[in-house]
Structure 1
Amino acid sequence: MLSTLLLLLPVISPTLTWIPAEDWESGNVTSSVGVLGECLCHVYLPDTTFPADRLQHMQEVSKDLIQEVQIQMNKINTHEEKLESYLGALKELLERVSMLGTSADDYVKLDFELLRVELREFESLVSQLKDSFNSSSPLFDSLYTEIRNMTLIVNQLESYDKSNLEVIRIEFVKLQKKLEECQKDQEFSKPDIGNCNNTGIMRLSKPIVGQLNSHLQTGYIYGGWGKDSKPVKGSESMYFYSGYSSTYTSQFYFYSDYKNLLLMKSSRYVGLQAGYRGVGNNYVIYGNSIYYQRESPFSMGKFNLSSGGYDSRVIPSATLDFSYSYSTYQNLDFAADEKGLWVMYASEESKGKIAVAKIDEKGFGIEKVWNTAAYKQMTGNAFMACGVMYATRAVDMNTEEIYYSFDTRNGEEKNLSIRFPKFQETYSSLDYNPTDQLLYMYNNGYYVSYYVKFNMA
């Protein structure tokens, strides 16, 4: 019986090494009948060794990947826990703000400032978490929304008590002054006012951030601020501000000094009359007159703050087709420096490159025009200092650079790379003032300025 079973079983020998069936050749499989009449099957396989070392390597890599995934999952859980904690703390802070709003007598003088400090700390923590997390999350959006809402509530509550508001503003001005002193580097401490015996700008200081505009409107991203570049007697310390949510120009506010600018205590308001209003935000005040881009007809506009009189002049070659890269309608850019009053624009003849024109102060006409190689639409803004035009452009969201200069004294052009940080990404006006050698920027609704360092000859 046993032999019978053996006859029925195929014999396969020797030990098999597996290879894909499609790689077999017909000659590798044969069959025959044994001496006892049994069926014999012979399979010949190539001598291929299984790659056990590669399998082991794959297993080790897989193990490392699993560990890395676990580490990242732990990080996610940690960040989520922190975000939940901050969100809970913000809700507690919101309850405190709500309690303050129940009565105008429930808070003390420092409450508002303490709340603001805490809000800024929260915002900083959230930003750090977001950077380390390198991602976005609904919790981040929720936290930022809570911070914005609470800031608005604090601003509204301030209006309930004018005396406390005044105390906070005065303290803010003191802190701002200290900040300016800290930011003012030793090399910028002794500007040589009026001296143009230099070979150009060497560098700019870190930005000095005053505050949000006097309207306290984050949407008022278009505008300008600064000082009279040729002040009349008695107005040497005067500051001005104009801002709105569009590029239209119609309102100017004047402040007796920098302190009152920050305290939002205007000493004078000027509204341009219908028919004389402007557009574009690259205006200057020079000799107690506002020089601006008149909307209709498109021309240079002038408003005399002393007499209240209006004047305008058309520049035939100037066109509305070319504006600075940050916003539209920045077609006529007025500037003032140690050499006088200027206007910069582009024309069809210049093929979009900036032309610099010297303005005759008395006749309000054009004395002379210089053509530069700076394309206006690739330029963020431009300004004049010591008769030299400087053009800027963006390097990235946080950095700007002066990339080009043109000297009207000798026609010399230079390619530059003088980089300086921005407080916000975009800005609508940039003007140098010869009375203090400061560069004034209206940076997305904020008052920002820079000390200018010249390379003295």
Structure 2
Amino acid sequence: MEPKLRSLYSDQNNHTLDGVTSENVAELFNSTVMVLDPLTASPSALPVPTHGALSGSGHDRSTEPTLALPLSLQNNDVSHVVGVENRIQTGNIVKNISCLENVTKMQSTYGAWMGDAARPDDARRWLADHFSGRVIVEYQNVSSFQDGGRKLIDIERFYQGCGHLIYDGSLYFHKAGSNRLHKLHLETTRTNILTMENTGYKNLRYLFHNSKTYFKFAVDEKGLWVIAASSVNHTLVVARLNRDPFSVEAIIHTGYPAAKAGNGFIAHGALYITDAKDKKITYAFDLEKGIAVDASLDLRPADGILAMLSYYPKEQLLYMWDNRSVKICNVYFTPNEKELQNE
């Protein structure tokens, strides 16, 4: 007999989501942010929902904002783009990755092993076993994982892939079979939902095929992001996210083919992508400047499945779920211009 799952939910009622319809979605698009043309990497203006328009309501479920990625970008004038001058700056670039010898053994080939990226002093760890499921396992610390002490959390819907994230007490994940991203607060059980139109989410058109992942959440020194694949041309797009309300601030088109990507992470405002076998980092893209950056870094020598690759900015550590083991790696950066001037 299967063990009874312990759920954090206090209300088991079914609630209707107040979805955004095609008739009223245009009313939400009344501010502009920087976007990059996938062919020329030149900045373009794209309206996205304002913060006020995306505010949630209700205790258990929020309104469901819908964001459509642009099928074509026509406006190359950035003179009226909000906040571009504040975001364009020289960032650090990864120069070396060095993994520790100690590893944590896992039972499954696929999964996500997570700490709270916003709370490095929180010793708890969360496990999403396999690339599909509806149970998250919480451990008080790494030792309790070894000892078997755990708490089971039924999130009441199936997640897909290995691209989840715990950030500031909330679980961010992709709901399987849909183009919906969920933010679940683990204490209050409040859920916010963001629908991403024009992104791949079915028919095995994965963002990262090796880990069966359609959407990959990431956090770095700049904030919260999600990586996806365009359903139009199957190239990588990155959305910069607001946490509250759960919404999209900006969309960046890299033009990089998803078919060539093994996995990826974001650090200091730059996207890093591995090759199809996940052995090397072969592509980097500065999300703030909108330009590709030279990148060629060894990541791992072994064959097999790399299920998870997640950067933790407060500790500058990279977590890898590699061949049924979780490795922790130190990430080293080149100094930026300001640091060089202070030397």
Q: In structure 2, the residue corresponding to 1:416 is in which secondary structure?
A: coil
Cα offsets for 1:271-306 (capped at 9, x unmatched): 211xx2211111001111110010243310121101
Deviation at 1:428, TM superposition (A): 1.5
Scaled by the length of structure 1, the TM-score of the pair is: 0.50
Residue 327 of structure 2 is aligned to residue 448 of structure 1: yes
- Partner residue, 1:371: 253
- Partner residue, 1:386: 268
Residue 313 of structure 2 is aligned to residue 434 of structure 1: yes
Measure the CA separation in 2 of the matches of 1:293 and 1:230: 20
Aligned 8 A contact 2:207 2:236 in 1: no
Deviation at 1:376, TM superposition (A): 1.4
Of structures 1 and 2, the larger Rg is shown by 1
Match of residue 346, structure 1, among 229, 237, 251: 229
Instruction: Assess, with a 3 A threshold, how the Cα gap between structure 1 residues 360 and 446 changes in structure 2: closer, same or farther.
Output: same
Letter in 2 for 1:236: D
Measure the CA separation in 2 of the matches of 1:442 and 1:309: 29
- Partner residue, 2:73: none
Matches within 5 A, 1:13-412: 198-213=91-106, 217=107, 220-231=108-119, 236-244=122-130, 247-266=131-150, 268-273=151-156, 276-320=157-201, 321-328=205-212, 330-349=213-232, 351-394=233-276, 400-412=279-291
Letter in 2 for 1:384: I
Measure the CA separation in 2 of the matches of 1:222 and 1:387: 27
Which one scores higher on RCO, CA 8 angstroms, separation ≥ 6? 2
Identity over aligned pairs, percent: 23
Measure the CA separation in 1 of the matches of 2:306 and 2:148: 21
Instruction: Assess, with a 3 A threshold, how the Cα gap between structure 1 residues 453 and 251 changes in structure 2: closer, same or farther.
Output: same
User: Unaligned 5+ residue runs, structure 1?
Assistant: 1-195
Aligned 8 A contact 1:338 1:386 in 2: yes
Measure the CA separation in 1 of the matches of 2:140 and 2:286: 34
Deviation at 1:424, TM superposition (A): 5.3
User: Unaligned 5+ residue runs, structure 2?
Assistant: 1-88, 337-343
Measure the CA separation in 2 of the matches of 1:358 and 1:280: 20
Q: In structure 1, the residue corresponding to 2:306 is in which secondary structure?
A: coil
Deviation at 1:255, TM superposition (A): 2.2
**CA RMSD, aligned part only?**
2.2
Which structure has greater strand proportion? 2
Measure the CA separation in 2 of the matches of 1:389 and 1:296: 26
Letter in 1 for 2:259: Q
Letter in 1 for 2:93: G
Letter in 2 for 1:303: L
Measure the CA separation in 1 of the matches of 2:294 and 2:209: 19
Instruction: Assess, with a 3 A threshold, how the Cα gap between structure 1 residues 303 and 355 changes in structure 2: closer, same or farther.
Output: same
Aligned 8 A contact 1:210 1:262 in 2: no
Cα offsets for 1:134-177 (capped at 9, x unmatched): xxxxxxxxxxxxxxxxxxxxxxxxxxxxxxxxxxxxxxxxxxxx
- Partner residue, 1:154: none
